[in-house]
Amino acid sequence: MSTPRKRVLITGAAGFLGSHLCDRFIAEGCHVIGMDNLITGDLKNIEHLMKLEHFEFYHHDVSKFVFVPGELDYILHFASPASPIDYLKIPIQTLKVSSLGTHNLLGLARVKKARILVASTSEVYGDPTVHPQTEDYWGNVNPIGPRGVYDEAKRFMEAMTMAYHTYHGLETRIVRIFNTYGPRMRLNDGRVLPAFIGQALRGEDLTIFGDGSQTRSFCFVDDLVEGIYRLLMSDYTGPVNVGNPQEITIGDFAEEIIKLTGTSQKVVYHPLPQDDPKQRQPDITLARQLLGWEPKVDRAEGLRRTYDYFKSLTRDELYKKDHRQFDKK
Ligand code: UDP
């Protein structure tokens, strides 16, 4: 007798990471239930899955009570705005999805006896005073700054998840995701890579915030998905960094994008946003030891694949401004 198909709920399914996770779990032969309220996600990212027998989509906001019929083996909670400009536009929803939303999904996991993996973030380290960041570093977060709505909600998410593990014995996993890039990022989401590539494609100057000396470490999405898959299948319940330790300054990153795109535009400097972390690099010793995982795609290759995706967008998509109106709740 063949083993029954695993049933997986993925929240944030129409988003950048969520949609890639849906692809992965479909490829693993699972029945995937995607859920998204489509505030920052886009159905275009999962259009290709809609016709599949083993994919279902629920248009739902997980900060409200979540109901899914039937059994569930795994839940992956990836619903959340993920870009600093989104936190400013929808701060309350950003707080709610990782607090109330996490609580609802932990409750669902209990009822279904499912294993749950939650998407935490390098932002729990804030503007870090330890470099590179190891999982035992507790972070340096400004709770009331503009990024606090995301950072603190994710910290609460970790605390709540751990409490469900220790108090209820729930099977939980926590991944701390560092800057990730790849096809299906939203061009106007304000993050540095879509911002630079969009500017190059439209023939605009590249906007560096601050003097460009701040660093980030960019991981290609396929590598991230592999790390997440391995973590879910492991038996480790503490938080695990998953990211690419190859660190670069934003100034050098702009130069790489200029070379990649062949744009003749220059860089222009804008003020650094409040609480913008000065440096960020994952220490992935734990992921290497526990999961036998490390990134395989170097930045040159990952950027080429991402640029191919952005080049395939229509002119309308390229020039589309973010005019969405949000409820104040
Ligand atoms: N950044 C920039 N120009 C832009 C957008 C972002 O210089 O047009 C900088 C931003 O200030 C930060 C870094 O790029 O230092 C990464 O920003 P992003 O919003 O992608 O993610 P973060 O890692 O800050 O959450």
For the chain, percent of residues with pLDDT exceeding 70? 97
**pLDDT at res. 327:** 63
Position in ligand 1 atom list of the atom nearest CA 84: 19
Side-chain-side CA neighbours of residue 18 (13 Å)? 33
Active-site positions read 150
Give me the residues paired with residue 121 across strands: 177
Q: Which residues line ligand 1 (CB under 6 A)?
A: 83-84, 179, 190-192, 195, 207-209, 214, 216, 250, 272-273, 276
Structure tokens at 245: 């330790």
Residue 322 has pLDDT above 80, yes or no: no
Q: pLDDT tens, 184-207? A: 999 989 999 999 999 999 999 999
Q: What is the pLDDT of residue 320?
A: 83
Q: How far is the CA of 191 from the centre of ligand 1 (A)?
A: 6
Which candidate, 178, 81, 76, places its Cα nearest to that of 123? 178
CA-wise closest residue to 251 among 269, 265, 264, 263: 269
pLDDT given at position 228: 99
Report the predicted TM-score, pTM, of the whole model to 2 decimal places: 0.96
| CATH number, span 7-185+220-244+281-297 | 3.40.50.720
- pLDDT at 323 exceeding the cut of 90: no
Residue 250 gets which letter from DSSP? Answer: H
Query: What residue owns the CA closest to ligand 1's atom 24?
Result: 276
- 30 pLDDT band, cuts 50/70/90, is very high
| Count of beta carbons in the 10 Å neighbourhood of residue 241 | 25
Helices marked H in 217-284 — which ranges?
A: 221-233, 250-261
Per-chain mean pLDDT for the chain? 96
Helix-then-strand count for the chain, H and E: 10, 13
Q: Where are the domains of the chain?
A: 7-185+220-244+281-297
Ligand 1 pocket test, candidate residues 149, 179, 191, most atoms within 8 A of CB: 191
